[in-house]
Amino acid sequence: MREYDLVIIGGGPAGLSAAVKAYDEGVENILVVERDDKLGGILNQCIHNGFGLQRFKEELAGPEYAQRFIKEAMARDIDIMMNTIVLELREDKSVLLMNEENGMFEIKPKAVILAMGCRERPRGALNTPGSRPAGVYSAGTAQKLVNIDGYLPGKKVVILGSGDIGLIMARRMTLEGAKVECVAEIMPFSGGLKRNIVQCLHDYDIPLHYSTTISGIKGTDRVEGVYLSKVDENMKVIEGTEKFVECDTVLLSVGLLPENELTQEANIKIDRKTKGAYVSDKLMTSVDGVFAAGNVLHVHDLVDFVSEESEQAAVSAAKYIKGEFKTTGENKIDVTAGDGVSYTMPQYLDYENMDDSIIVKFRVNNVYPSRKLAIYADDKCIVERKKRVLAPGEMELLRLKKEDIDPDTKQITVKLEEI
């Protein structure tokens, strides 16, 4: 088996963009490991447009966006193993793999980039009352059935959750001839992009009910309908608000979780909020030489940001491989979420390795009109920007300059303030 300087786990948009960038940065021996039989990841079933506006300044469908990077990877001397499962990632960066051609084998690269993406939160995590009839799907599963396999899951649909996949599937099911009765969202706001609410619901007259959940599913062999109920500020069902809606299909769009079993096996520190790895501004995890990027790190709203972040991880991995990475371990500055902020990315700054400026990414925890975004170094405000509307469905970005941070700073705080 050939020796590799860099192993990238995942052949979706994150893994492919990381591989291309790492190669261009001078890393010669690169292996991309993909468990599926084709590259592109989840984008292969995302046939709607809207991809690439940030990256390529044009509107692409998911497979078109993926093909841009597949073509770039194929044009370089990058090894790709399809139908290959990563069984284990160890703290010494060794990777245990298995496929039909080679059986079980081990590779110990100089660096690893985690790019495994994310998965949908299942029904079991919701504790929804009712039996287990046919007709209950995650939104992503329904998307695959319609767009890849050519099956229509049902004719009368209720969607729980207003994440982007759920919103997009509301439109997709309508276009395929199904009747989407409504979208129910347990929160008082949507977790999806504003443009998707407008283009996928408003344009098709599909109702969106906030502070509403499915309190019961009726049906034995097949879904016959659902009970929708209002919830209070503690997400508890309000008695007396129950309403029955007849349907034969329920789609669940109730959140995405980073695919982090391998991360945890390697004893990499996990952020409790993002459920992804705890990383520095160089996207290095708590295990030296292991980097993470894309939806395995935190769930993104745009794939363009996934590609950009993955390229950042690739640049860091290339420097690490070439011995240009300082590993003093000193001057680590925590980056924390303050008032109104759900999480920050990165979670800490490696001051010794920090670039002249970096982008701090974060999400707010509610819908806020007219607020000031601020970054504090201890008690000193070093960045501020006003914004008219903030919502959890859209990632916020602020540029942080190294020259504004004292090396003795203990903590960076990102928060919202009244104007």
pLDDT digits (tens, 9 = 90+) for 203-224: 999 999 999 999 999 999 999 9
Residue with tokens 């504790």: 127
Q: Supply the pLDDT for residue 311.
A: 98
**Percent of the chain surpassing pLDDT 70:** 98
User: pLDDT at position 124, please?
Assistant: 67
Residue pair 295/118 in contact by the 8 Å Cβ criterion? yes
Q: Is the pLDDT of residue 160 over 90?
A: yes
Three-state secondary-structure class, residue 164: helix
> What is the structure's pLDDT at 100?
95
Residue 302 has a pLDDT of 92
pLDDT digits (tens, 9 = 90+) for 131-156: 789 999 999 999 999 999 999 999 99
Neighbours of 90 (CB within 10 A): 15
Identify the pLDDT of residue 267. Answer: 95
CA distances from 292 to 5, 117, 232, 276 (A): 16, 10, 37, 9
User: What's the one-letter identity of residue 213?
Assistant: T
pLDDT of residue 1: 66
List, in order, residues 6 or more apart from 337 with CB less than 8 Å away: 273, 343, 344, 362, 413, 414, 415
pLDDT above 70: residue 401: yes
% of residues, the chain, pLDDT over 90? 90
Q: Residue 353's pLDDT band (boundaries 50, 70, 90)?
A: confident
In the structure, what pLDDT confidence band is assigned to residue 384 with cuts at 50, 70 and 90? Answer: very high
Give the count of beta carbons closer than 10 Å to the beta carbon of residue 334: 14
Over residues 64-86, the mean pLDDT reads 97
Give the per-residue pLDDT at 328. Answer: 55
Residues ≥6 apart with Cβ < 8 Å to 234: none
Q: Tell me whether residue 134 is exposed, middle or buried, using C-beta atoms within 10 angstroms of its C-beta: 0 to 12, 13 to 18, 19 or more.
A: middle
Question: Higher-confidence residue: 275 or 353?
Answer: 275
| Residue whose token pair is 């492919």 | 16
Query: Does position 246 have pLDDT exceeding 90, yes or no?
Result: yes
Q: What pLDDT does residue 374 have? A: 97
The sign of the dihedral angle between the CA atoms of 207, 213, 218, 221 is positive
pLDDT at 131: 77
Q: How many CA atoms lie within 13 A of 249 on its CB side?
A: 22
Average pLDDT of the chain to the nearest whole number = 94
Report residue 128's pLDDT band, with 50, 70 and 90 as the boundaries: confident
Nearest Cα residue to 19 out of 83, 86, 75: 75
In contact, 138 and 251? CB cutoff 8 Å = yes
- pLDDT band of residue 327 (cuts 50, 70, 90) is low
pTM of the model: 0.94
User: What pLDDT, on the 0 to 100 scale, is given for residue 226?
Assistant: 96
Q: What is the mean pLDDT of residues 386-399?
A: 94
DSSP 8-class letter at 60: B
Helix (H, G, I), strand (E, B) or coil at 379: coil
The total number of residues shown for the chain amounts to: 419
